[in-house]
Structures are given as C-alpha cells and as structure tokens.
Amino acid sequence: MKKLRETLLKFSLSFVGIIVVGGIPSLFKVSDGQYINLNGFLDAIKVILNSFLHLEDLTYIPTPNVEYPLFPHIFHPIAYSLILLFSSLAIAYAVSILLTIGTLLLPSKLVRRTKVSLSMLDSIPDLLLIYSFQLFIIFLYKKTGMIFFNFAALPGEKIYFLPIVCLSIYPAVFLFRLTITLFEEEFTRNYITLAKGKGIGMMTIMYKHILPNITVSLVNNSKNVMWFMLTNLLILERMFNIPGITTFIFQYISPEVFVIGLLLLFIPTFILNTACELAVEKNKKVM
C-alpha cells in the first residue's frame, strides 16, 4: 500500500509539473512595464486544464486553412517515437550486459583498454556521431551505388534501423560502465570465492549469481538512462527528419499540444519504470 501511494504521488507531481511547464511560456509574454505576466500564465493553465475536458475538440493545423482533430492523429507520431525509444533501451541493456560479460573474460590489460576505448566514445558529441553515421552511409552509396540504410525519412516514410542504433549507443556505453563496475564489486564478495572453490565456471557465476544481484542497481538507474534518451530523441528526430512526437510538438506548438504530447510520452515511460521496479522487488522477495 505504501508503494502504491508513493507511485501515485510521483505520477501526480510529474503530471502537475508537465502542466506547469506548458504554461510557463505565457508567463513571459509581457507588455511594457511588466516583468512577468502572471495572469497570462494562469489563463494558459486554465486553457490546458479545460482541454482535458474536451479532448475531442482539440485540433492542429498542418497547412494553412486545413484543420485536423488532434486525436487520433497524434497517436501516429507518439507510437513511432516510443518504438524507437523502447527498442533502443532494450538493445542498450542487452549490449551492455553482453559487453560486460565478454570484457571480463578477457585478460586484465584488455579489460582496461576496453574501458578506455568506450570512455572515449562517450566523449563524442551526439550530433557528431549521428552526422558521422549519415556521412558513412553516403560514402558507401558513392562507392557501391547501394543505399544500405536510409539516413533520413522522406514524407510518409518511417525509418528504424539507423535511428535505433544511434539512440542506443550512449545508453549502452553508460550502462556498460555501470554494469562492469557492479560486476567487479561483486567479484570481491565471499560467495564468489566459494563458487570458484566449488569449481563453478566463470560464465555460470556471472550469469546465474552476479547478474541477478546487480539487477536492482540497473533498474534504479533506468530512470536516468530514460531521461537521457528522451533528450537525445529530440536531436535524433531533427537529424533524421523523423515525424515523431517531439517533431509534432514543435511543429504544431501550442500549450495544449505541448502538454498532451509530453504526457503521452511520459505515461508509457513511467509505467515501464514502475513495472520494472515492481518486478525487481517481487523477485527479491522470492529470492
């Protein structure tokens, strides 16, 4: 019951925070002699709250003199963005764990070199990395005459492979650095020495003993990874011309579209984080 109250409180505070952020631009729409426009801010909040009562009447204008209902059209960009986001997150976790296990099986000198190499990769700016991937695809096209992967979405087209790869790289590196640190800490525990003494193989120790023990820490850091990916999602959609939710929000900007778009992005990620936390806690009780 306590956990349910905490979850509802977190959700409520985040919900209110998104609504407040949606009204903040109106706070600075000032006239002569004003520093802040409190009345404009309160009016914007009222408009946003009123929009929740009349969702069927909300519209957006894709072209002059053409008006479309916001629902269900907004579901297409949000679904596209969530597919990219969750696919990248799953790949980042899988790659980080496989890299960690593979790295720790190497000699100690190679382990150190791998850590340094991935730390250098983490220092490359997001824009430069995405731009480098796009240039590489263009280079391959010039050399072979073949387009292996689409590096930008055309109108009415959706691309997945390259955006998912780009979005998953930095989370994978972050999770690798975290995971390998957690693994190395576990190696100092007494139960690892006991398992080695019984002749249990290193792969079995890492997979059956260490990995379950560090799952809690990985899940606790999933929020940081998710918010990091959400900030990169905006850059990614711009660079690949992806018609996702962040593109939709800034293309048809209004307090209502902004708030509803963020809520549609926030709610699934919140549910995912909460579900993972509950699954880990349930597994701890069973163990």
Q: What is the pLDDT along the chain (287 residues), one digit of tens a residue?
A: 777 888 899 999 999 999 999 999 888 887 766 778 888 899 999 999 999 998 989 998 887 788 889 998 999 999 999 999 999 999 999 999 999 888 888 888 888 888 788 777 777 787 888 888 888 888 888 888 887 888 788 888 889 999 999 999 889 988 988 899 899 888 888 888 888 888 888 888 888 888 888 888 888 777 778 888 888 898 899 889 999 999 999 888 888 999 999 999 999 999 988 888 787 777 655 45
Q: What is the pLDDT of residue 32?
A: 66
Q: Which fold, 73-252?
A: MetI-like fold (1.10.3720)
Task: Please tell me the distance from the alpha carbon of residue 226 to that of residue 267, in angstroms, as a whole number.
Answer: 13
Contact 182, 217 (CB under 8 A): yes
Q: What is the pLDDT of residue 286?
A: 46
Element (H, E) at 108: helix 108-122
Task: Please tell me the distance from the alpha carbon of residue 78 to that of residue 245, in angstroms, as a whole number.
Answer: 5
In the beta sheet, which residues pair with residue 69? 59
Task: Please tell me the distance from the alpha carbon of residue 49 to that of residue 114, in angstroms, as a whole number.
Answer: 51
Task: Please tell me the distance from the alpha carbon of residue 129 to that of residue 133, in angstroms, as a whole number.
Answer: 6
Selection from 75, 15, 43, 48 nearest residue 257 by Cα: 48
Q: Give the three-class secondary structure for 59.
A: strand
Selection from 64, 62, 87, 66 nearest residue 243 by Cα: 62
DSSP 149: S
Task: Please tell me the distance from the alpha carbon of residue 100 to that of residue 179, in angstroms, as a whole number.
Answer: 7
Question: Domain locations in the chain?
Answer: 2-71, 73-252
Let me know the angle formed at the C-alpha of 270 by 15 and 166, rounded to the nearest 5 degrees: 115
Pairing of the two strands 59-63 and 66-69:
antiparallel
Amino acid in position 257: V
